[in-house]
Amino acid sequence: MKKQAIQTLSITTAILFLSACSATVSVPASPSPSALADSTATPSPTASPEPSSTATPEPSGTPTPTPTPEPTPSVNQLISAGYVNNCAIIAGAAKCWGGNNHGALGNGTTDQSDVPVDVSGLDSGVTSISLDPSDGYDACAIVNGGAKCWGYNGSGNLGDGTTTESLIPIDVSGLDSGVTSISTGYNHTCAVVNGSALCWGLANQGQLGNGSSDTTHLPVQVSGLDSGVTQVSSSYADSCAIVNGGAKCWGHNQYGQSGNGTNTENDLPVDVSGLDSGVDLISVGYADTCAIVNGGAKCWGRNYAGELGNGSSYDPSLVPVDVVGLDSGVTAISTTYYDTCAVVNGGAKCWGKGSNGQLGNNDTYDSSLPVDVSGLDSGVTAIASGYFDTCAIVNGHVKCWGTADNNGALGNGNDNTFTTVPIDVSGL
């Protein structure tokens, strides 16, 4: 069974700190993953002084308080959930834990680990990380502006021109700088390089977006997306990108996850219906896709267990629908096989399939509407949905919930923990 997790994040930690100090802050004006642009709130001018009979007028009126800037989504993925493993970036270093088939943890072994281990050579400069959200075992990261991948490589999805797996990170050919977004799917990978979208690996269902079904072991250009691209997200056999503020998708599209009103396979990018502007972040799942649009959440696709969050289940949508109650304040979103989670006003909410405890609401029932994750009502800056579990960064520390599935995926030192509420990941 295939599944996806792709996680996104926000920069609310800096905003919370500055809000406490009643200061202004610069946050990204658009979801540029490489740098923060200025959107500093400007204080309102004080009231104009009334003229007086003296030569120097007395000022009057009370200065308007500086408004606190709204958190802005960031496409940098600081935490990512895979099939039976998870990774996070802590102080610029990559850490992974859980299942380790084909070297998916990147530490030079194939031994699973129920506590976080260092990814070999990635002890600094890591800005984004992505695990294969299906049942594959590969991962990629952006390191000092370049792309590195490791793990399974049967379809050339590591991008080094071979099909040889690697237990440690290796360079993606030609992508040693300018990389600002990266995402792994099932045996294929996509990245944004200097504003252009590139993909490589398996192409049997059009998931490389270059008009071909030929697998490639090196990065190729996604047709028409040679500029203006700020983020990519990939899953089983689909990929999407944010292009000049709008959303485009390509690939399998069996359940309408391309969002263009059809379920026809697309080997070239197509526009997502109604999302031609205002798209801040996008996350592709196995058969569903979700996005943050003008601060609100929208989803589309299969909806097997209520993962679209619109109050229905077993009712697919070929175009985006609103997630109930999440029309503002959303700064991160991650959808996977049958569930979705988001950061909303600093708190965590999840919806969809809950049988493995992955909704985190102290229950194992499905929910077609967002529910609060127990204890995570503030301080959440990033979240990632996996097949068996979900993880989040909370006040700078990592918490996970769900089931470890005998692989140690919760990172708490136990191979087979099951929990319906968040627990601490060891050492993080």
Closest CA to 78 of 364, 285, 352, 332: 332
User: DSSP assignment, residue 103?
Assistant: G
| Count of CA atoms in the C-beta half-sphere (13 A) of 22 | 4
Residue 74 identity? S
In Å, how far are 26, 193, 220 from 226, measured between CA atoms? 28, 9, 11
311, with CB counted inside 10 A (0-12, 13-18, 19+), is: middle
- CA 185 to CA 132: how far, in whole Å? 5
- CA 142 to CA 172: how far, in whole Å? 10
pLDDT of residue 238: 95
- CA 224 to CA 241: how far, in whole Å? 12
CB 267 within 8 A of CB 209: yes
E-strand stretches of 206-265: 216-221, 229-234, 238-243, 246-251
> For the domain with range 8-14+70-424, which CATH number is right: 3.40.50.2300, 2.130.10.30, 3.30.70.260, 3.40.50.300?
2.130.10.30
Strand order in the sheet with 179-184: 179-184, 188-193, 196-201, 216-221
SS3 127: strand
Helices (H), 3-134: 12-20
* End-to-end Cα, the chain, rounded Å: 30
Q: Which residues pair with 422 in a beta bridge?
A: none
Residue whose pair of structure tokens reads 């050919």 in the numeric block: 173
SS3 241: strand
In Å, how far are 13, 21, 249, 331, 374 from 35, measured between CA atoms? 16, 23, 25, 17, 33
Give pLDDT tens digits along the chain (428 positions).
333 333 333 333 333 322 333 333 333 333 333 333 333 333 333 333 333 333 444 444 444 544 444 555 655 689 999 888 999 999 999 999 999 999 999 999 999 999 999 999 999 999 999 997 777 689 999 999 999 999 999 999 999 999 999 999 999 999 999 999 999 999 999 999 999 999 999 999 999 999 999 999 999 999 999 999 999 999 889 999 999 999 999 999 999 999 999 999 999 999 999 999 999 999 999 999 999 999 999 999 999 999 999 999 999 999 999 999 999 999 999 998 899 999 999 999 999 999 999 999 999 999 999 999 999 999 999 999 988 899 999 999 999 999 977 788 999 999 888 999 999 999 99
pLDDT of residue 73: 64
Query: pTM for this structure?
Result: 0.82
Length of the chain: 428
Q: Which residues contact 375 (CB under 8 A, 6 or more apart)?
A: 421, 422
pLDDT of residue 139: 95
